[in-house]
Amino acid sequence: MTGLPVSTYVLSTGLALILIGLWGLLMQKNIIRMIIGFSLVDTGIHMVMIAIGYVTGGTAPIIDSAVPIKDAATRVVDPVPSALVLTAIVIGLGVTAVMLSYAVNIYREKKSLSIDDCSESKW
């Protein structure tokens, strides 16, 4: 197989996703869309994490008949980023949930979901 290693694609896609998410955060006036932008940033970061955990030619870090204990250190991918990404996903979920609950309340208070209507305090 020639060309770039597979994790580079994942990494680049992740970084691109982050950029798209940032674009959404900055350009979309609708709060729900901004939250989607944030989710994209989050997902992008998770992809970057997965990419970094990949070891060339590695397999899932589970010891079974396919990967005996003695070979584990050479044949599996890094379990740490997988563990981290699990945590990060849950945290992202928590933050998104709180954001959405804010969006619900903002809509109830202002009958609008535009971020431009959220600038009571300034200076």
Partner 1 sequence: MPRSGREPVCASARRYARPQRRATVFDARTGNVNPMLKRLFIFFTLILVAAIFSDVALNYSEHTELSRLAQHYASKGPEELGAANLVTSVVVTYRGLDTLGEVTVLFISAAGVGLMLRRRKHPDTVVPARKPASELVETAARLLMPMVFVFGVYVFANGHLTPGGGFQGGAIIASGVLLLLLAMPQAQLSHRLIGFTESLSGFSYVVVGVLGIVLAGGFLDNRILPLGSFGSLFSAGAIPIIYVFVGLKVGSELSAVVDRFRSDESKPEL
Partner 2 sequence: MVAAVFHPLGIFIVALGTAFLTPLLFRKREGFASLIFMLALAAMATIAAAGFLALANGAPTIEIETAGIAPPFAINLRFGLYESFFVFAVNLAALLAAWHYLPRLRKHAATLLLFIIMVMGIDGMVMTRDLFNLFIFIEITSIATYTLIGFEREAGMLSAGFKYIIATSIASAFFLLGTIFVYYQTGTLNIDDIIAHQSAIGGPIGFVALLLLLTSLLIELKPYPANGWGLDVYETAPSAIASMISVGVSAGVIFALYKVQPLFGDFLTSIAVVGGITFLASNVIGLRQNNVKRLLGYSSIGQMGLMVLAMALLQQHGQHTHLALIVGGLFLNHLLAKAGLFWLAGVVQRDTVRGWAGVAGKPLLLLVLGVCLAALIGLPPFPGFWAKWGLVMELAVDNLYGWIALVLVGSLLEAAYLFRWFGHALRADDSEPVNVGVAPLLPPAAAAALLAVAGYFTARSAGVVPGQLLLPVYAAGALFLLDGLPGRLKSLAMLAVVAGGGFWVAGDLQGLNRIFALILVAGGLLMAVATLYRGDARKGFYPLLAALLLSLATLLTAHTSLEFFTSWELMTLSSYLLVTLGRDGVKPALSYLLFSLGSAFLILAGFAVAFAATGSIELAALGNAGDSVPLVFSLLALGFVIKAGAFGFHIWLPGAYTEADDDTTAILSAVMSKASIFGLVIVAGQLGVRADIGLEPAYVLGWIGMLTATFGALMAVFQEDFKRLLAYSSMGQLGYIVAGIALMSHLGWVAALYMTVNHFLYKGVLFLAAAGVIYRTNTRLMYQMGGLIKNMPVTFVAVMMAIIAMSGVPPLTGFGGKWLLFNAMMDKGWYWLAAVGFFSSAVAFLYMFRILQTVFLGQRKLAHKDLREAPLILLVPQVVMLVIILVLSAYPKLLLDPLSAAVAPYVPGALLWDGLALQSHLGYWNAPMIMIIVGGVWAIPLIFLLLVSLTIKIQPVKQFNIVYAAERPHRPEDTHYAYRFFAHYERAIGVLVKPHATAFWSAVSEWSHTLAASLRILYTGNGQTYVLFILVYFVALYFANTGTV
- List interacting residues with partner 1 (CB under 8 A): 5-8, 11-12, 15, 18-19, 22-23, 26-27, 51-52, 54-56, 60-64, 69, 72-74, 76, 78-80, 82-84, 86-87, 89-91, 93-95, 97-98, 100-102, 104-105, 108, 122-123
Dihedral class, residue 66 (left if φ above 0, else alpha if ψ from -120 to 50, else beta): alpha
Rg, C-alpha atoms of the chain: 20
Q: How far apart are CA 25 and CA 67, in angstroms?
A: 44
Nearer to partner 1, 61 or 112 (CB): 61
7-26 residues in contact with partner 2 (CB under 8 A) are 18, 22, 25-26
Is 113 a binding residue for partner 2 by CB under 8 A? The answer is: no
